Amino acid sequence: MDNILITGGAGFIGANFVRHVRSNYPAANIVVLDLLTYAGSKANIEDVERITFVKGNICDQDLVCSLLHKYSIDTIVHFAAESHVDRSISAPDQFIDTNILGTYSLLKAAKEKWLDGTGEQEHRFHHVSTDEVFGSLGPHDPAFSETTPYAPNSPYSASKASSDHLVRSYHHTFGLQITTTNCSNNYGPYQFPEKLIPLFVINALHGRKLPIYGDGQNVRDWLYVEDHCRAIDLVLNKGQVGETYNVGGGEELPNLTVVEEICSGVDAIFAGNPELNQRFPDAPPARGGKCDSLKVYVEDRLGHDRRYAIDERKIHSELGYSPVNDFRNGFRKTLAWYIDNEQWWRGLMQN
Complex with ligand NAD: residue 98 or 244, whichever CB lies closer: 98
Q: Least Å distance between CB 82 and ligand NAD?
A: 6
Q: Least Å distance between CB 9 and ligand NAD?
A: 7
| Residue 34 lies near ligand NAD (rule: CB under 6 A) | yes
Helix (H, G, I), strand (E, B) or coil at 126: strand
Binding mask 171-200 for ligand NAD (x = CB under 6 A): ------------x-xx-----x--------
From residue 276, give the alpha-carbon distance in Å to each of 162, 173, 330.
Answer: 46, 57, 21
CA distance 261 to 196: 12
Residue 187 annotated as catalytic: no
CA distance 175 to 224: 33
| Residue 61 lies near ligand NAD (rule: CB under 6 A) | no
Residues 6+ apart with CB under 8 A from 283: 204, 205, 206, 207, 266, 270, 276, 291
Binding mask 118-147 for ligand NAD (x = CB under 6 A): ----------x-x-----------------
Helix (H, G, I), strand (E, B) or coil at 117: coil
| Residue 8 lies near ligand NAD (rule: CB under 6 A) | yes
Residue 116 annotated as catalytic: no
Complex with ligand NAD: residue 113 or 160, whichever CB lies closer: 160
HSE-up of 282 (CA within 13 Å, CB side)?
10
| Residue 83 lies near ligand NAD (rule: CB under 6 A) | yes
Helix (H, G, I), strand (E, B) or coil at 173: helix
Among 34-42, 267-275, 300-308, 322-330, the segment contacting ligand NAD (CB under 6 A): 34-42
Could you say which of 68, 81, 158, 276 contacts ligand NAD (CB under 6 A)?
81
| Residue 207 lies near ligand NAD (rule: CB under 6 A) | no
* Residue 142, Ramachandran bin (φ over 0: left; ψ between -120 and 50: alpha; else beta): beta
Residues 6+ apart with CB under 8 A from 191: 12, 197, 198, 225, 334
| Residue 246 lies near ligand NAD (rule: CB under 6 A) | no
Could you say which of 1, 5, 12, 177 contacts ligand NAD (CB under 6 A)?
12
Complex with ligand NAD: residue 171 or 220, whichever CB lies closer: 220
Q: Which amino acid is at 143?
A: A
Beta strands in the chain (DSSP E): 3-7, 29-34, 51-55, 75-78, 124-130, 178-183, 185-187, 210-213, 219-224, 244-247, 252-254, 295-298
Among 81-89, 165-173, 206-214, 231-239, the segment contacting ligand NAD (CB under 6 A): 81-89
Q: Please give the DSSP secondary-structure letter assigned to residue 74.
A: -
Residue 156 annotated as catalytic: yes
Complex with ligand NAD: residue 43 or 286, whichever CB lies closer: 43
Which one of 34, 74, 82, 156 is the catalytic residue?
156
Residues 6+ apart with CB under 8 A from 3: 28, 29, 31, 71, 72, 73, 74, 75
Could you say which of 68, 102, 137, 252 contacts ligand NAD (CB under 6 A)?
102
List interacting residues with ligand NAD (CB under 6 A). Answer: 7-8, 10-14, 33-37, 39-40, 57-59, 79-83, 98, 102, 128, 130, 160, 183, 185-186, 192
Catalytic residue numbers read: 131-132, 156
